[in-house]
Amino acid sequence: MRFQKAQATMEMALILPFVAGLMALAIQGGLILSDNISISHYAYDAALWSQANKSTATTGSSGTIAKHIYQEMCGGSLAPPSSTGTRFCNGNSLNVQVTSRATNMAASRTSPPHEMVAGVSTNCIPWTLNISPSVTTLDNTLTNQTTTYTITLVLGSGGSLSPIVNLSVGNYPNAISPGYPLFNPTTISASSTTSTLPITITSQTTPQVWPVEFLGTDQCGASSSNGPQTSLLTITGNAPTTVCSSSEVNFSTPNNSVAGTSKPIDITGNGFTNPSTVSFGSTPAASVSFIDSTHLNAATPVGLGVGTYNIIVTTAGCTSTLPNALVVTSVATSVPSASSTINACGPGSAGNYQVVIQISWSEPLFIPWFSDAVTLNSTQVVFCQ
């Protein structure tokens, strides 16, 4: 009897580590799968964004597409490590590459799955988005104030392909938790027509009316037939504590102008509020348009002389400077961008182009049997016609 008990104890001692190892492997595999899905989501969102902003989307490590990715993943930082945003940005292993390449592919070719097609005629059934609620009010002095939007796909008539719509959102409030809104699920279709999007504000969310904008693009490259849908989110309460950051302004395009003319300049960053002021050196902008918390549009004054100017933005009591961001010449000339960016899909892109968006991240393993980390990758291709 004692021998049998000892044998059972020994067998249990051998089995338990094996079972624990299998459980750890399952947990590790689940984390890798979840992170890979998240990275794919950010790459797909960037492809959608580049399609919706063809006139200002630029490639390169400092282009607007890469800036958009870092804005979504890292809370506006130009590159990791970052104390804000997702855990992908906590170290230096996040890598974002956005490149453009010419292709002689015919516009009529069949698109592989998960590719965006810009400017191609569509065979998808037309569709629209319904957003509920259309008006919401939240108070930033209360804890865990949340509104949950319901996004419903409504099919129209015509076309032959059932649309699969990838959702995106813009003009959402600043300082929300966890820092960016996420759809659940990120894709809607004829077989699954509804998605939800919760937005939870914090005490630092700016009190104002936020026109939250809902967009979508299907696998044919088409958008909603009734255009972007807007839901007004009114934030009441106290003004947030002013925290100034040198990274509030991080990019502008174009980077050149001609003396004696006025030219619109798109400025990107984070934490912008309405109103904001912009100056080129010490000269105020002719006009400033607040687009959303990450975008401003400022017109250069006609009287701005030849020279190189800093772009200075004051928003919510904070002043931030983008050095040597605008070159004014006496005649129209092409000024190379310091960030080596090129227009991705906008006017002037002759021929057919592919914009390749690649995001990679080294996932640290807590079971480092063969390696300390595994590299996760996601690639999206935007076809520009």
- Asked if 116-236 and 256-329 have one fold, the answer is yes
Distances (CA, A) of 330 to 134, 305, 326, 333, 361: 49, 8, 13, 9, 45
Task: Output the pLDDT for position 276.
Answer: 86
Instruction: Report pLDDT digits (tens) over 222-262.
Output: 888 888 899 999 999 987 665 554 446 666 667 778 888 88
- Nearest 5°: the CA angle 92, 95, 96 is 140
Task: Output the pLDDT for position 241.
Answer: 60
For domain 256-329, give the fold.
Immunoglobulin-like (2.60.40)
0.85 exceeded by pTM? no
Task: Output the pLDDT for position 24.
Answer: 64
The dihedral sign for the CA sequence 134, 140, 141, 145: positive
Residue 155 near residue 125, CB atoms below 8 Å: yes
Task: Output the pLDDT for position 147.
Answer: 94
Which residues are 360's β-sheet partners? 95, 377
pLDDT band with cut points at 50, 70 and 90 for residue 176: confident
Task: Output the pLDDT for position 107.
Answer: 31
d(CA 309, CA 285) in angstroms, rounded, equals: 12
Task: Output the pLDDT for position 2.
Answer: 56
Closest Cα partner for 172 from 147, 139, 141? 147
In the chain, domain spans: 2-105+344-384, 116-236, 256-329
pLDDT above 70 as % of the chain: 65
Provide the token pair at 31: 């984390």
**CATH number given to 116-236:** 2.60.40.10
Amino acid at 134: S
Task: Output the pLDDT for position 112.
Answer: 36
Task: Output the pLDDT for position 285.
Answer: 92
